[in-house]
């Protein structure tokens, strides 16, 4: 008996991902349904990305690529406008997109597929009668003439037949009110949304008369009528950033934290070989917008093209740049408690999460997803239902990714160390989880207002009588709870309990312990501190030192001994911490001091290779000077997060080898650590996508092997060898392309099918299988003289 499994499209329907035949051009999420537009198709999928309905948008209207996709939930409809028939709009049923409610030939979206469009719903009041569609479209005069159409750059359009002028009409009380460009520049729409009573638009303006591209924000007040709303136009120029000019806006995310109107944009300098090419910058619009100002006085745009007067542009700069990366392509945001969480999509297929606290301090980035290959993330939408998933478009693939992976962290400490505001330790369930899943229980998370690197910190102080030493322990925990949890600390040494009684508790989750100075030997005292919050216990080991005995030349080693012992390092000397410093001291500040050891400072000249796949690389060669004393290699990212260390294998003064571990895609720097902990030199290594093995050519060989087989794939420069049954061969690369390489097949002994794998560091990547045929059997040969040559004919068995 045979079973045939027939998929609607015959493609992978794996959980939470769906692969289309064509690239995704746009998508929207509403009512637990995902609407995906590809080149000439529209798809309706449930919230697990199973296909429910499909519609070919080009069947009745040739070359109709959907440019606008706006779910109108209250009306149970989906508004789509495309490029067909000089512009074509359809209203579809939201529950079944194969059913058309209304259609009209109209250029609400751009007619040319390469031009950007923008559309979203705007509410100017409360009833259904006051919903309009804000539409932005690039209108090319030549095309308009060909089509015999009128075109508007930015208009408000009706959504109901009953509104003045009928559905889709841009008509106001005195003709069409539209926002036009004053000059001849071309516009690229990036984003737009309504927040309370304001409607924002973000776009790039390219104009030959301007020195560079202008990133523009335009906004309007939601007034009673379409006309009044459009006439309230105001605008600003956005400029990014201090460190380097990035003139083009790529993507944006509006979010309102508790009291600020913060907006974040991804800006690019247009060179994604530069690791800092794109920046995620936060702008604060609160003050600027509250300032009022005259309407319709924009330097570049005007209502109905009136007001051609020259106006001095007003420029704003970002409040803070939270992230830099070679190639960010998209951003989305959500608020979690008092945190602002940004999701960043990259051109090399990574989904990165970054949280920003009230003081606009940033946590370490968390990579939520990374594609094996270089698939560009073109758009992301947070699941509007529970905000626990995000939908991501990657080339021809749609993916649903969790916004946090709290379950991966198995202890209070690892849950805290994840620095993910979505995750906290749920005391009653003893698990790391989302806040709302931990009801009626204590939930511990990272504190906001100050991003901390460690859950606990401690400081030591000497009493004025010099007879007592006091240790103060602070916990950087944020807790949400019912009732007040018990908090205590116990200080234990090898000789037993250090303090008389246990530590005292203060409301701020800190405790202290005092003991006689006699108990502090010159060599230091190892103390295990056990901290209990509710029924959660965490312990940490510290070495307490006599701060005033830490004297000597101000070296990195002395400084770091001082800081890690909870003493105060100030003015190049170590003292007791008589008052808590404002910011806790870290070992990082000690790096500026000399090592103090009789070591010649190592220099790094090069690392080879300096581009590797994210599986890492064994035996990387580092060349430089004075490398013989190097103990290990430190690997750091740009935000000083997740530093890693790798031991040094073979070393000489001029070169050494080390293994660089697997990581996320992106740029890291390596430096050489010498005895005493100081790290010298710096070289960059870029982690890229994995190699892929597409096909073998030819895909067969003889039992005795020895045939040259070509491998076609991508990123083959990162391959260490080709593996058959544990037998490794060298992959010879084609000098001109990273997509082809060849190797000599090994012998198998008999006719068989063997799996072929690419070896990349400690992992392998599968290739298509290779068929082994029996060795050819040669039966005879003949030699025939032909002119000056001899022709040899060899016969073999079929
Ligand atoms: C909204 O609903 C009304 C009434 O069913 C319908 O006439 C109109 O076409 C709808 N408009 C849109 C944009 O879906
Ligand atoms: C700490 O060191 C200083 C200077 O060496 C010394 O005078 C003092 O007695 C020491 N205190 C303790 C408690 O060991
Ligand atoms: C450092 O080492 C060199 C050679 O081993 C020696 O000549 C020199 O005196 C040393 N310097 C110090 C400050 O110890
Ligand atoms: C160290 O170098 C020697 C000789 O150059 C080599 O045989 C050995 O495999 C190397 N070891 C490592 C761990 O790289
Ligand atoms: C590969 O495995 C070895 C042995 O466990 C380890 O030392 C090395 O760091 C690993 N290499 C990478 C790139 O992860």
**Residue bearing the CA closest to ligand 1, atom 5:** 75
**Residue bearing the CA closest to ligand 4, atom 4:** 650
**Six token digits for residue 293:** 């100002």
Domain shared by 681 and 726, yes or no: no
Give distance in angstroms: CA of 549 to centre of ligand 2.
6
Evaluate whether residue 77 is within a structural domain: no
Kindly report the average pLDDT of the chain as a whole number. Answer: 88
Q: How many domains does the chain have?
A: 4
Evaluate whether residue 427 is within a structural domain: yes
CA–CA distance from 696 to each of 533, 693, 750, 771 (Å)?
60, 8, 20, 10
pLDDT at 377: 97
Reported as a single tens digit per residue, the pLDDT across 12-35 is 444 699 999 999 999 999 989 999
Taking 60 as the threshold, does the pLDDT of residue 581 lie above it?
no
Evaluate whether residue 623 is within a structural domain: yes
pLDDT at 12: 43
Helix or strand (DSSP H, E) at 175: strand 175-176
**Residue bearing the CA closest to ligand 2, atom 11:** 546
Domain shared by 631 and 660, yes or no: yes
pLDDT at 609: 95
Reported as a single tens digit per residue, the pLDDT across 555-570 is 888 898 898 888 998 8
> Residues lining ligand 1, judged by CB closer than 6 Å?
72, 75, 77, 79, 91, 101-102, 159-161, 167
- Give the pLDDT band of residue 738 (cuts 50, 70, 90): confident
Specify the CATH number for the domain of residue 424.
3.30.1680.10
Cα distance from N-terminal residue to C-terminal residue, the chain? 37
Reported as a single tens digit per residue, the pLDDT across 373-403 is 999 999 999 999 889 999 999 999 999 999 9
Domain shared by 708 and 739, yes or no: yes
**Residue bearing the CA closest to ligand 1, atom 8:** 160
Domain shared by 675 and 765, yes or no: no
- What distance in Å separates the CA atoms of residue 478 and residue 425, rounded to the nearest whole number? 10
pLDDT at 502: 53
- What distance in Å separates the CA atoms of residue 83 and residue 61, rounded to the nearest whole number? 9
Reported as a single tens digit per residue, the pLDDT across 451-464 is 777 888 888 888 88
| HSE-up (13 A, CA, CB side) for residue 700 | 10
pLDDT at 338: 84
CA–CA distance from 662 to each of 254, 613, 746 (Å)?
34, 8, 29
**Residue bearing the CA closest to ligand 2, atom 4:** 549
Domain shared by 505 and 629, yes or no: no
Reported as a single tens digit per residue, the pLDDT across 650-673 is 888 899 999 999 999 999 999 999
Give distance in angstroms: CA of 628 to centre of ligand 4.
15
- What distance in Å separates the CA atoms of residue 695 and residue 770, rounded to the nearest whole number? 10
- What distance in Å separates the CA atoms of residue 534 and residue 530, rounded to the nearest whole number? 13
Between 229 and 518, the more confident residue is 229
Using DSSP's 3-state secondary structure scheme, residue 226 falls into: helix
Q: Which of 384, 419, 445 is the last residue of a domain?
A: 445
Domain shared by 723 and 743, yes or no: yes
Evaluate whether residue 220 is within a structural domain: no
For Cα atoms 555, 560, 564, give the angle at the middle one, nearest 5 degrees: 160
Could you list the residue range(s) of the whole structural domain that residue 437 is in? Answer: 406-445
Specify the CATH number for the domain of residue 648.
2.60.40.10
Taking 80 as the threshold, does the pLDDT of residue 292 lie above it?
no
Evaluate whether residue 150 is within a structural domain: no
Q: Which of 646, 661, 688 is the last residue of a domain?
A: 688
- Give the pLDDT band of residue 8 (cuts 50, 70, 90): very low
pLDDT at 344: 97
- What distance in Å separates the CA atoms of residue 152 and residue 138, rounded to the nearest whole number? 8
- Give the pLDDT band of residue 84 (cuts 50, 70, 90): confident
- What distance in Å separates the CA atoms of residue 109 and residue 67, rounded to the nearest whole number? 6
Give distance in angstroms: CA of 727 to centre of ligand 4.
21
pLDDT at 583: 61
Evaluate whether residue 394 is within a structural domain: no
Domain shared by 466 and 578, yes or no: yes
Tokens 């040494």 correspond to what residue?
Answer: 493
Q: What is the mean pLDDT of residues 174-202?
A: 90
- What distance in Å separates the CA atoms of residue 280 and residue 353, rounded to the nearest whole number? 12
Domain shared by 747 and 764, yes or no: yes
Reported as a single tens digit per residue, the pLDDT across 85-144 is 889 999 999 999 999 999 999 999 999 889 999 999 999 987 778 999 999 999 998 989
CA–CA distance from 615 to each of 373, 453, 618, 632, 720 (Å)?
12, 27, 10, 20, 11
Contact 642, 364 (CB under 8 A): yes
Q: What is the mean pLDDT of residues 293-319?
A: 81
Domain shared by 576 and 533, yes or no: yes
- What distance in Å separates the CA atoms of residue 571 and residue 551, rounded to the nearest whole number? 12
Tell me which long-range contacts 211-220 makes (C-beta under 8 A, separation of at least 24): 212/245, 212/247, 213/247, 213/248, 214/300, 214/313, 215/239, 215/240, 215/247, 215/248, 215/249, 215/265, 215/267, 216/300, 216/301, 217/263, 217/285, 218/154, 218/179, 218/298, 218/301, 219/289
- What distance in Å separates the CA atoms of residue 672 and residue 656, rounded to the nearest whole number? 10
Evaluate whether residue 473 is within a structural domain: yes
Tokens 């979505």 correspond to what residue?
Answer: 422
> Residues lining ligand 4, judged by CB closer than 6 Å?
619, 649-650, 657
Evaluate whether residue 105 is within a structural domain: no
Domain shared by 607 and 559, yes or no: no
Tokens 């539209």 correspond to what residue?
Answer: 178
- What distance in Å separates the CA atoms of residue 568 and residue 552, rounded to the nearest whole number? 15
Give distance in angstroms: CA of 567 to centre of ligand 5.
38
Give distance in angstroms: CA of 38 to centre of ligand 2.
75
Domain shared by 663 and 707, yes or no: no
Handedness of CA 510, 511, 516, 521 (dihedral sign): negative
Q: Which of 671, 688, 705 is the last residue of a domain?
A: 688
pLDDT at 95: 94
Domain shared by 553 and 680, yes or no: no
Percent of the chain with pLDDT over 70: 94
């Amino acid at each position: 008996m045979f079973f045939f499994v027939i998929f609607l499209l015959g493609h992978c329907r794996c959980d939470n991902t769906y692969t289309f035949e064509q690239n995704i051009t746009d998508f929207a999420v509403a009512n637990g349904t995902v609407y995906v537009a590809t080149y000439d198709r529209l798809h309706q999928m449930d919230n697990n990305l199973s296909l429910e309905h499909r519609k070919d948008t080009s069947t009745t209207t040739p070359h109709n690529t959907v440019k606008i996709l706006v779910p109108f939930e209250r009306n149970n409809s989906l508004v789509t406008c495309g490029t067909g028939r000089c512009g074509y709009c359809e209203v579809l049923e939201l529950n079944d997109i194969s059913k058309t409610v209304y259609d009209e030939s109209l250029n609400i979206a751009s007619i040319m597929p390469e031009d950007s469009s923008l559309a979203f719903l705007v509410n100017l009041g409360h009833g259904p009668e006051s919903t309009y569609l804000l539409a932005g479209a690039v209108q090319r005069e030549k095309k308009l003439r060909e089509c015999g159409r009128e075109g508007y750059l930015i208009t408000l359009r009706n959504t109901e037949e009953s509104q003045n002028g009928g559905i889709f009409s841009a008509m106001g009380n005195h003709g069409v009110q539209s926002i036009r460009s004053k000059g001849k520049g071309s516009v690229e729409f990036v984003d737009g949304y309504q927040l309370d009573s304001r409607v924002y638009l973000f776009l790039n303006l390219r104009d030959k008369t301007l020195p560079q591209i202008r990133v523009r924000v335009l906004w309007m007040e939601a007034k009673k009528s379409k006309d009044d709303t459009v006439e309230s136009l105001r605008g600003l120029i956005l400029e990014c950033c201090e460190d380097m000019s990035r003139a083009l806006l790529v993507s944006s995310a509006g979010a309102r934290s508790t009291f600020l109107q913060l907006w974040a944009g991804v800006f690019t300098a247009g060179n994604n070989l530069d690791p800092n090419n794109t920046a995620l910058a936060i702008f604060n619009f609160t003050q600027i917008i509250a300032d009022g100002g005259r309407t319709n006085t924009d330097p570049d745009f005007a209502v109905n093209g009136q007001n051609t007067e020259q106006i001095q542009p007003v420029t704003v700069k970002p409040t803070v740049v939270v992230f830099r990366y070679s190639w960010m392509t998209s951003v989305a945001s959500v608020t979690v408690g008092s945190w602002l969480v940004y999701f960043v999509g990259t051109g090399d297929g990574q989904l990165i999460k970054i949280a920003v606290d009230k003081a606009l301090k940033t946590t370490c980035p968390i990579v939520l997803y990374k594609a094996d290959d270089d698939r560009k993330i073109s758009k992301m939408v947070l699941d509007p239902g529970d905000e626990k998933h995000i939908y991501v478009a990657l080339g021809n693939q749609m993916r649903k990714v969790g916004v946090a992976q709290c379950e991966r962290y198995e202890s209070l400490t690892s849950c805290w160390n994840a620095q993910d505001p979505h995750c906290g330790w749920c005391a009653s369930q003893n698990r790391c989880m989302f806040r709302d899943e931990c009801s009626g229980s204590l939930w511990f998370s990272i504190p906001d207002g100050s991003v901390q690197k460690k859950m606990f910190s401690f400081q030591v102080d000497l009493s004025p009588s010099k007879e007592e030493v006091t240790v103060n322990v602070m916990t950087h925990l944020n807790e949400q709870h019912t009732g007040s949890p018990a908090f205590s600390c116990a200080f234990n040494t090898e000789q037993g309990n250090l303090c008389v009684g246990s530590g005292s508790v203060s409301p701020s989750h800190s405790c202290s312990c005092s003991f006689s100075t006699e108990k502090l030997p010159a060599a230091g005292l190892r103390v295990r501190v056990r901290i209990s919050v509710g029924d959660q216990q965490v312990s940490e080991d510290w070495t307490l030192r006599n701060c005033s005995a830490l004297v000597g030349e101000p070296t990195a080693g002395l400084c770091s001994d001082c800081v890690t012992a909870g003493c105060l390092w100030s003015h190049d000397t170590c003292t007791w911490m008589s008052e808590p410093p404002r910011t806790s001291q870290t070992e990082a500040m000690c790096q500026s001091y000399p090592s103090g050891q009789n070591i010649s400072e190592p220099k790094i000249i090069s690392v080879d290779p300096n581009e590797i796949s994210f599986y890492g690389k064994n035996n990387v060669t580092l060349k430089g000077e004075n490398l013989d004393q190097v103990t290990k290699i430190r690997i750091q990212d740009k935000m000083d997060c997740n530093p890693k260390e790798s031991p040094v294998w073979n070393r000489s003064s001029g070169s050494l080898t080390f293994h660089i571990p697997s990581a996320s895609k992106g740029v890291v720097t390596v430096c050489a650590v010498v005895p005493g902990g100081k790290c010298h030199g710096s070289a960059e290594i870029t982690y890229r996508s994995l190699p892929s093995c597409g096909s073998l050519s030819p895909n067969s060989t003889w039992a005795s092997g020895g045939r040259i087989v070509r491998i076609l794939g991508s990123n083959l420069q990162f391959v260490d060898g080709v593996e058959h049954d544990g037998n490794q061969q060298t992959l010879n690369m084609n000098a001109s392309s990273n997509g082809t390489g060849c190797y000599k097949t090994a012998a198998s002994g008999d006719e068989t099918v063997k799996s072929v794998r690419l070896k990349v560091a400690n992992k392998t990547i599968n290739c298509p299988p290779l068929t082994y045929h029996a060795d050819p059997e040669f039966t005879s040969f003949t030699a025939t003289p032909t002119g000056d040559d001899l022709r040899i004919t060899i016969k073999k068995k079929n």
